[in-house]
Structure 1
Amino acid sequence: MAPVIPGFDYRRVPVADGVSLNVAVAGSGSPLVLLHGFPQTHLMWRHVAADLVADHTVICPDLRGYGASDKPSANAAAAAGPAAVTDPAAADDAAAGPAAYAKRTMAADIVALARALGHDRFALAGHDRGALVAFRAGLDHPATITHLACLDVLPTLDMWDVLHGTTAAVGFHLFLMAQPPGLPERMIAACPDDFFGHFLDLWTGDPRAIPAEIRAAYLDACRAAVPSIVADYRASAGVDVDHDRADRDGGRRLTMPLTVIQQDWGAALGYDAAALWRAWADDLEHHTVGYGHFMAEEAPADIAKALRELLAR
């Protein structure tokens, strides 16, 4: 049986035509939506969610294309397994329509999810890929998002700006999955556990933070979602950049209280992360921490505390 967050109610919620999200919900009080990153599922929030549920309605979905949520334009390939993405037609289907995995589309999913659960306004926290969705939701839906937290990520446009030279090797997967449909899907599907497991190993500061059963659940979910995960990353090298650039050129900013928690990648890659975020936000608290990338699993008490402090602002 697949792991779950104990005490949470699981359901499937339609959020768009042909797309339903798998979501875990518990608690009462002001709503807080938690969005997972790569290569994970909603389970990455299991400790933080169990803490925050004491005084909030906590909503933990799998993003579209991930976990047990629907995978538009990739369902056929995912269901057929790795062999399916050796067919160029299946790979084309996985990327059909760049908007399918635009962060704008994924953010609209989350707003629709919250409304379906009875919440017209809510706080939102995201990690990694989920933080990019949260960032876009904050820009596109400022009257809906009351508070925003982004963990260990830069806005898409800034991320591409700072990756250059040999230091960009740390983001090799970004460049791989940005390639046209076909080759990235085939390469990753040939050894998915090695590919996704590489990041679980490399980015974990404390290996005990991701126990064997959770690691297995992450790998199982990713193995079944290669085309949609690639499509998500491909969107971040295309349509997401266009959306971010239009907002930056137009002076659009995040107006709600924002907390950003990051590792000190800036020291290695030569940028000031806080300054980059400050260019987007009117009310920013930026924290640099010494945890590994999977900080919600490595230091859940600290992350829960930071989210409570954000919600008090």
Structure 2
Amino acid sequence: MDRALPDLFPGFESRLAETEQGSIFYRTGGSGPALLLLHGYPQSHVIWHKIAPELAEHFTLVMPDLPGYGQSAVPPLSADHAAYSKRVMARTMASLMESLGHTQFRTVGHDRGGRVVYRMALDLPERILGAAVLDILPTYDYWNKLDREFALKIYHWAFLAQPAPLPDNMIAADPITFLEHKLASWSAAKDLSAYSDGALEHTRAWFQDPKRIAATCEDYRAGAHIDYLHDAEDRQSGKTIQPPLLALWGTQGIAGSVEDPLAVWRDWCPHVKGKPITSGHFLPEEAPEETCIEIKNFFAL
């Protein structure tokens, strides 16, 4: 699939790494301290293509496709959704980094990738030198906030989390219409103007695969069940994020729907820093320059 698609990362290497969740596709390049970049739904590592060249001047970038997304392996679905839990994904991503010689690293995650990032910071704090999350609040808080207004904004959380194969089959009946609606409706412009033609071509290619549609639904089923329980355990025990944490959100994004996103994150990480960026949900593509500046400044050595 990759060979027939536009090269959005000239000068970067494309590789496969074997992990407990199967083969993980990733791109890597640059020089300096290791920086792991994790995408969200309904995208792949391609979300980073606008900011990767600048970041690569300061960091050694590792940009994987999460399990079930893009060109990575599709773990089997299960009754407990464990393979798609952010705890297992976090372990897989940390294992990937260790296999590349990065026992400690910095990491940035957008959307679902941000949930892997904060779970990694909670479960493996000794590995994380700093973490940034883009346009999310913790899974626990999203589910507990689902009043009428917020439920309408993130209706896909309940829809995608329905038992298989209901949402899987409904999306597979017309995947490109669903994909493009999500990309447009979550952007500030409410259209596809923020996304390059090449990025859309990459995303359309893998999002038509029924196995990957099912996998991405399973990601949300994990969020509604096992991920929520993991978060609840940490809240009840008072466990907090120890590594430095940056939270950025779009002024017209999803996390900004609450009155004070940073106050929510302080319950999880008292030393968190953060700010809004003029953008919709997809900061690296809608506001690449400002997003890149904030990441570089936060991780400044």
- Normalised by the length of structure 2, the TM-score is 0.92
Q: Which runs of 5+ in 2 are unaligned?
A: none
How far is 1:166 from its partner?
3.9
Mapped pair 1:208 → 2:196? no
Matched, 1:69 2:72: yes
Aligned with 2:11 (options 7, 10, 24):
7
Mark the CA change 1:267 to 1:185 in structure 2 (over 3 Å): closer, same or farther: closer
Q: 2:289 aligns to what?
A: 301
Change (3 A) 1:101 1:22: same
Match of 1:217 in 2: 202
Whether 1:134 and 2:117 are equivalent positions in the alignment is yes
Aligned partner of 1:84 in structure 2 is none
Q: 1:122-160 CA deviation, whole Å, 9 max, x = no partner?
A: 000000010011110110110001000000011100111
State how many pairs are aligned.
292
Which range is displaced more, 259-268 or 273-282?
259-268
Q: Is the Cα contact below 8 Å between 2:104 and 2:127 reproduced in 1?
A: yes
1:256 aligns with 2:243: yes
Corresponding residue to 2:275 among 260, 270, 287: 287
Matched, 1:231 2:247: no
CA contact (8 A) 2:278 2:287 kept: no
1:188 is matched with which residue?
171
Residue 24, structure 1, aligned to residue 48, structure 2: no
Question: So what's the TM-score if we normalise by structure 1?
Answer: 0.89
Structure 2 counterpart SS, 1:149: strand
Q: Write the deviation string for residues 233-259 of structure 1: whole angstroms up to 9, x where unpaired.
A: 110000000000001111111111111
Deviations 1:253-307 (A, max 9, x none): 1111111111246898454211110111132111112211111012212111111
> Percent identity, aligned pairs only?
36
- Residue 278 of structure 2: SS of its match in structure 1? coil
Change (3 A) 1:219 1:248: same
Q: Tell me the distance in 2 between the aligned counterparts of 1:233 and 1:144.
A: 26
**Corresponding letter in the other structure for 2:201:** A
* 1:147 and 2:130 are equivalent in the alignment: yes
Equivalent-residue separation in structure 1 for 2:133 and 2:11 (angstroms) = 26
Instruction: After the TM superposition, list the runs of 4 or more consecutive aligned residues in structure 1 that deviate by more than 6 angstroms.
Output: none
Aligned to 2:153, what secondary structure does the other structure show? helix
Aligned in 2, Cα 1:149/1:267: closer, same or farther, shift over 3 Å?
A: closer
Structure 1 residues 70-219: aligned runs within 5 Å: 70-73=73-76, 94-206=77-189, 207-219=192-204
CA 1:185/1:296 → structure 2, altered by over 3 Å: closer, same or farther?
Answer: same
2: distance between equivalents of 1:150 and 1:270? 16
Shift of 1:230: 0.5
Name stretches of at least 5 consecutive residues in structure 1 with no aligned partner.
Answer: 74-93
Asked if 2 retains the 8 angstrom alpha-carbon contact of 1:256 and 1:283, the reply is: no
Counterpart residue identity of residue 123, structure 1:
R
Residues 60-114 of structure 1 show CA distances to partners (whole Å, capped at 9, x for unaligned) of 00000100000111xxxxxxxxxxxxxxxxxxxx345421100001111110010
Letter in 2 for 1:181: A
Higher helix share: 1
2:51 counterpart of 1:48: yes
Find the aligned partners of 1:133 and 1:183 in 2 and give their Cα distance: 25
Distance 1:8 1:151, change over 3 A: same
SS of 2:37's equivalent?
strand
Q: CA deviation at 1:312?
A: 2.3
Between 1:172-181 and 1:119-128, the stretch displaced more is: 172-181
Deviations 1:158-186 (A, max 9, x none): 11112211431111111111111221111
Task: Answer whether contact 2:29 2:56 (CA < 8 A) is retained.
Answer: yes
2: CA distance, partners of 1:155 / 1:268? 13
Counterpart position of 1:78: none
Q: CA RMSD in A?
A: 1.7
Q: Distance in 2 between matches of 1:12 and 1:107?
A: 17
Q: Secondary structure at the match of 2:108?
A: strand
AA matched with 1:302: E
